[in-house]
Amino acid sequence: MKNDSRRARREAERLAQAAREAAGLAPGSKLPEDNAPGKEPAAMPSPAPVAATATAGAQPLEAPATGEGPVQTAPAGTAEPAKNTETPDSLPDSKEPAAKAGARGQRSKTRGRTLGVLGSVGVLCLGAAAIAAGSVFPPASAAPGSEVPVTSLPAGDALASCPSTMKLFTGAGTGVDPEFAPASKDAQTSIRAAVLSDSAGRIPGARMLKNDLSVEKTIAPRLPAQEAEKLTGAGADGTNQRKGALGPASKYSEPLTVHAQPLGGVQSLVSAVRSYRATDGDLAGLAAAACTAPAAETWLTGAVTTPGSTAVLNLVNPTASVAQVRVDLRGADGMIQAPNLSALAVAPGESKSIVLAGYAPNEKALSAKVVSSGGRVNATIQQSTLRGLVPGGLDYLGSAAPANNTQVVPGVQILDPKLAGELGKPAANADAVAELVLAATSAEGATVQVRALGPNGEVAIPGGGEVVIASNATARMPLGGLPAGNYTIVVEGDSAVSASVKMVRGTKANEPIDLAWAGAASRLGSEHLMVLPAAGKATVVLNAPEDTATVSVRSLGADGKLSASRTIELSGSRSVALGEKDFGSGAAALVLSATGAPSYAAAVLTDGAYGIAALPVSDAPLGREGVQVVLRD
């Protein structure tokens, strides 16, 4: 009964709206008594035929917010319904008996109602025909060879999303969102961030925001929108006034995202790093993670899920849209089926943690491809190992260069072969060896040739440098036989691969050792900013594997001043290492610029007797983005 009542009200409202349109009245206005929906017309003529034409961008009928079905509108050119006027045929004859007159009036009303329904059906059919025409016949596209203009899009805030600090997995819970405990009594965690000004010396507004968008730290106040949109080429005196601002360090242990305001329609240069250091507990060691922009696709290669090792995939969505995430896992035998990871919803400001051993146990080299649609996510893997009761190392596996036939991994530190052999002798330390980890990204697999470029150029890899990778599988190649030093590893294959290098550092086999993963790097561009973490001593390793290149390095001090530029010439495939004496003990960040042949850089961090971590160079900022807009008739 309720449904019948609602349908009756909707039908009455539809008739009232049709009467308003026929009378030329505005929607919602009061109808004259003659046109009230309760008074049925004597006859409703069928609408005049109208040719349905396809219109560009024709849209389907949208249901109203109440969910009561689509609202139908008569197309232009349809004949208006007749006004409610009685004809002589419809008037009862006063000389006829009352019963006959009533019957004739009832038949007249029935005919009028039937014609009215037929008229409405005709209107609906014409409307459907117009919509169908717009769907069947696609809108006209731009003429071949015609120039399609590019419309510039305004630049948004530059984002640098930082993962949470190292946490000890307690074993409670499985799969997604496990339980954690504090890592160590003396654990220290910190996030440092910096931002560069434009050439006129304007510092963009920059803040560290928590997942709920509350402000953790302010690096620089935000400029008024009108001021920030101005295009400036230099300072008031015509000189380059470039400088920077280093924000206060944050000890917040959960994910943070640094937002930097665009200037002159171009994204600002911002960089941040999360560092962790502990000397006791199961998670003793050094770890560092570059804070990166959220991405639609991320490759993480080198995770370990054997007994004693824990790999936790952390997903953070710092955007304003829900992210639909799919995680593809590859192991030694190929693709790993994990249906529960094919459709993960990560809401804006939400974090998810996934214990990878629950989906891919006993893998010595695991690769994860994280693909996101809708909102973009920051994906990292927290990797840790416990060898019996002795800490066995920890680090973050961060985003690396996209899969490609050629991969370059700079910032690789190799121990003395004798010491490396001693560290790996105990059965519990069998996997504590430096090695290259590769993942084939297609069903064809890949065959790759590996080169090791040391301080004096290329060094022969013991056992040769060829690796054959099965279909969608991972493979490992040991690097422990190389002489001690800082290296750049180059991978060249017949199919696209992802790559990383696991490094090991320690002094004795029965004492704590540490691990680090250096990912494949993208080539250096015109300007990059790399914040140096509060923990550890940084060594920056640069190389131009194929030809000569020039890299300019400037230091950013705590006072925001940039040092004079130091020029580094790269040639002969030699890996050049820069330490504290090269960029100054007070340096809080480095600005790198490259010209010439493709060149690459990364930092390796060391701390104490065994701590080691890897740190990539942040990506260059985005310039003005544009889309092609085709205007249709």
Going by pLDDT thresholds of 50, 70 and 90, the confidence category of residue 104 is very low
Which burial class, exposed, middle or buried, applies to 499 when counting CB atoms under 10 A from its CB (0-12, 13-18, 19+)?
Answer: buried
The torsion angles phi and psi of 90, rounded to 5 degrees, stand at -90, -10
CB 53 within 8 A of CB 124: no
Q: Report, as an integer, the average pLDDT of 418-441.
A: 88
Highest mean pLDDT, choosing among 67-81, 169-183, 230-244, 523-537: 523-537
Question: Hey, what are 327's tokens?
Answer: 């995680």
Going by pLDDT thresholds of 50, 70 and 90, the confidence category of residue 463 is confident
- Express each pLDDT in 227-278 by its tens digit: 988 887 776 666 778 899 999 999 999 999 999 999 988 899 999 999 999 9
Q: Report, as an integer, the average pLDDT of 67-76.
A: 39
Q: Which of 112-116, 420-424, 467-471 has the lowest mean pLDDT?
A: 112-116
Strand ranges (DSSP E) for 215-269? 215-220, 244-246, 256-260
Euclidean distance between CA atoms 496 and 483, whole angstroms = 29
Average predicted confidence (pLDDT) for the chain: 80
Looking at the predicted structure, is the pLDDT value of residue 509 above 70?
A: yes
- Express each pLDDT in 302-340 by its tens digit: 999 999 999 999 999 999 999 999 999 999 999 999 999
Going by pLDDT thresholds of 50, 70 and 90, the confidence category of residue 219 is very high
Share of the chain above pLDDT 90, in %: 57
**What pLDDT does residue 28 have?**
53
- Which has the closest alpha carbon to 378: 441, 453, 309, 292? 292
Q: Which of 91-100, 371-380, 407-416, 531-540 has the lowest mean pLDDT?
A: 91-100
Task: Write the DSSP string, 514-582.
Answer: EEEEEEP-PPP-S-EEEEPPSSSEEEEEEE-SSS-EEEEEEEEETTSPBPPPEEEEE-TT--EEE-HHH
Share of the chain above pLDDT 70, in %: 71
Other Cβ atoms less than 10 A from the Cβ of 240: the count is: 13
Q: Which amino acid is at 299?
A: W
- Measured CA to CA in angstroms, residue 447 lies from 39, 122, 355, 471, 601 at distances of 83, 67, 31, 11, 25
- Express each pLDDT in 149-208 by its tens digit: 656 567 789 999 999 999 887 664 445 555 555 556 788 999 999 999 998 899 999 999
Looking at the predicted structure, is the pLDDT value of residue 119 above 90?
A: no
The three-class DSSP label of residue 469 is: strand
Q: Which of 29-38, 44-53, 218-227 has the lowest mean pLDDT?
A: 44-53
Q: Which amino acid is at 556?
A: L
Q: Report, as an integer, the average pLDDT of 376-397.
A: 92
Q: Which amino acid is at 81?
A: P
Q: Each residue of 456-494: b (16+ CB within 10 Å) or e? A: eebbebeeebebebbebbbbbbbbbbbeebbbbbbbbbe
CB 519 within 8 A of CB 397: yes
CB 486 within 8 A of CB 413: yes
- Which has the closest alpha carbon to 299: 207, 409, 391? 409
Euclidean distance between CA atoms 601 and 590, whole angstroms = 12
Going by pLDDT thresholds of 50, 70 and 90, the confidence category of residue 612 is very high
Looking at the predicted structure, is the pLDDT value of residue 613 above 70?
A: yes
Which burial class, exposed, middle or buried, applies to 76 when counting CB atoms under 10 A from its CB (0-12, 13-18, 19+)?
Answer: exposed
Question: Hey, what are 135's tokens?
Answer: 């769907």
Q: How many angstroms from the chain centroid is the CA of residue 449?
A: 31
Beta strand pairing status for 537-543 and 514-519? unpaired
Going by pLDDT thresholds of 50, 70 and 90, the confidence category of residue 131 is very low
Question: Please, which residues have CB within 8 angstroms of residue 303's CB and are 6 or more apart in sequence?
Answer: 311, 356, 363, 365, 366, 367, 368, 381, 383, 397
Q: Report, as an integer, the average pLDDT of 294-308.
A: 94
Question: Domain spans of the chain?
Answer: 40-136, 158-620
- Measured CA to CA in angstroms, residue 129 lies from 50, 117, 140 at distances of 10, 18, 19
**What pLDDT does residue 464 have?**
86
**What pLDDT does residue 583 have?**
86
- Which has the closest alpha carbon to 521: 411, 397, 438, 437? 411
Euclidean distance between CA atoms 461 and 467, whole angstroms = 12
- Which has the closest alpha carbon to 272: 258, 288, 251? 258
- Which has the closest alpha carbon to 621: 130, 260, 90? 260
**What pLDDT does residue 107 have?**
44
Q: Which of 436-440, 475-479, 629-633 has the lowest mean pLDDT?
A: 629-633
Q: What residues are paired with 310 via a beta bridge?
A: 384
**What pLDDT does residue 129 have?**
45
Is pLDDT larger for residue 74 or for residue 383?
383
Looking at the predicted structure, is the pLDDT value of residue 51 above 50?
A: no
| The total number of residues written for the chain in this structure | 633
